[in-house]
Amino acid sequence: MELKNDLILRAARGEKTERTPVWLMRQAGRILPEYRAVRNSLSGFIELVKNPDLAAEVTIQPVDILGVDAAIIFSDILVIPEAMGLPYEMIEKKGPWFPNTIKSEADLKNIRIADSSSDLGYVIDAIKVTKRELAGRVPLIGFAGAPWTIFCYMVEGHGSKTFSNARKMLYTQPALAEKLMQMITDSTITYLKAQIEAGADIVQVFDSWAGILPADQYEQFSMKYIRQICSAITEVPVTAFAKGAYFARKSMATLDCETIGLDWNMDITETRELIGPNKTLQGNLDPCALYGSNAEVEAATKKMLDAFGPDRHIANLGHGVYPDIDPEKVKVFVNTVKEYSAR
């Protein structure tokens, strides 16, 4: 199916575009009353993730309602641990919870490299339904968590400010950590390839907990595996987003990927210098800027666009949109990008 709007794909490849493309991390979700209505018709988040027709519906909602230039498949990064044999629960107002975690070498016996066709068939089906229903309107983004971030949940068992149990393993059982990280990496590569095969036009790797590691450990325990993923995915453009990894930007410049995501703490000009001209940058408006007035959102968005310049930029926030943001403010952000960058 020919894409009618392929702006993000062209921007990712470094081709000239009529204007800067825009989408938002976490655009499919709680900011939209239309999402909450679908979500409340089921018993929970995981039921929605595992229902391909409804997952497709909430994937497409932000395209219709917010006017973004891409859809991102409605799922979660935690489907990988589950497919490896470590199921999760999503506890209302608290977040993910793993009844079992990885603590020792013996625990590896209970997990396996995920088989995308059998264990993750529901995501693959959701992608197929979404592609059919999008009918080429905008590209579909596939995604996975980076091995380090997935490792954090598999070892810690839940969200944390420090992930000190996960970080402890890097010091006390580094060989076990690396074995687990490699299993996650192998699972992720086949999973992303299955997403692409089903129709994902571009894929993003989310390293949400990059910022809690020291630079040397980040190279050893995270970049090493992100590098493997980037090199293995040759079919479509890849975006690497490592939140808080300002110390790793020079190293990220050498990844075999098209786009690097910036969080809102990263200076745009400095990052462009560190990454060089051969990659597209994605980001990076402060998610809290959307709490401002319409005029303030507009001004902040224009300032961001001026700093990135017209080429090799995909506009986004510096992290996922917060659940209590007014969708009208998101529309101001999206429309400002579209109008101000058009030339």
Ligand X SMILES: Cc1c2[nH]c(c1CCC(=O)O)Cc1[nH]c(c(CCC(=O)O)c1C)Cc1[nH]c(c(CCC(=O)O)c1C)Cc1[nH]c(c(C)c1CCC(=O)O)C2
Annotated binding-site residue? 27: yes
Cβ atoms of 239 and 295 within 8 Å: the answer is: no
The amino acid sitting at 195 is: Q
Say whether 153 is catalytic. Answer: yes
User: Residue from 143, 148, 191, 333 that binds ligand X (CB under 6 A)?
Assistant: 143
Joined tokens for residue 181: 């990280």
Annotated active-site residue in 13, 26, 36, 137: 26
Q: Which of residues 263-322 bind ligand X (CB under 6 A)?
A: 320
* Distance from C-alpha of 315 to C-alpha of 318, rounded to nearest angstrom: 9
Say whether 291 is catalytic. Answer: no
Q: How far is the CB of 87 from ligand X (least distance, A)?
A: 14
Q: Where are the beta strands (DSSP E) in the chain?
A: 71-72, 89-91, 95-97, 140-145, 202-207, 238-242, 259-261, 280-285, 313-317
Which C-beta is closer to ligand X: that of 221 or that of 272?
Answer: 221
Closest CA to 261 of 233, 244, 281: 281
Say whether 76 is catalytic. Answer: yes
Which C-beta is closer to ligand X: that of 206 or that of 308?
Answer: 206
Annotated binding-site residue? 142: no
Angle 52-66/327-341 helices, nearest 10 degrees?
A: 60
Which C-beta is closer to ligand X: that of 262 or that of 272?
Answer: 262
The reply on whether position 188 binds ligand X by CB under 6 A is no
Cβ atoms of 316 and 284 within 8 Å: the answer is: yes
Annotated active-site residue in 6, 10, 35, 39: 39
Residue 91: φ, ψ to 5° = -90, 125
Q: How far is the CB of 88 from ligand X (least distance, A)?
A: 9
Closest CA to 29 of 327, 323, 290, 329: 323
Say whether 39 is catalytic. Answer: yes
Please list the residues that pair with 315 across neighbouring strands: 22, 283
Which C-beta is closer to ligand X: that of 8 or that of 72?
Answer: 72
Q: Which of residues 88-117 bind ligand X (CB under 6 A)?
A: 90, 95-96
* Distance from C-alpha of 54 to C-alpha of 181, rounded to nearest angstrom: 32
Task: Tell me how many residues contact ligand X (CB under 6 A).
Answer: 22
Annotated binding-site residue? 319: yes
Annotated binding-site residue? 26: yes
Joined tokens for residue 258: 């098209």
**How big is the CA angle at 63 (ends 317 and 277), to the nearest 5 degrees?**
45
Q: Which of residues 23-42 bind ligand X (CB under 6 A)?
A: 25-30, 39
Q: Which residues lie near ligand X (CB under 6 A)?
A: 25-30, 39, 45, 72, 74-78, 90, 95-96, 143, 159, 206, 208, 320
- Which residues does the annotation mark as catalytic? 26, 30, 39, 76, 153
Mark the binding-site residues, compressed into ranges: 26-30, 76, 153, 208, 319
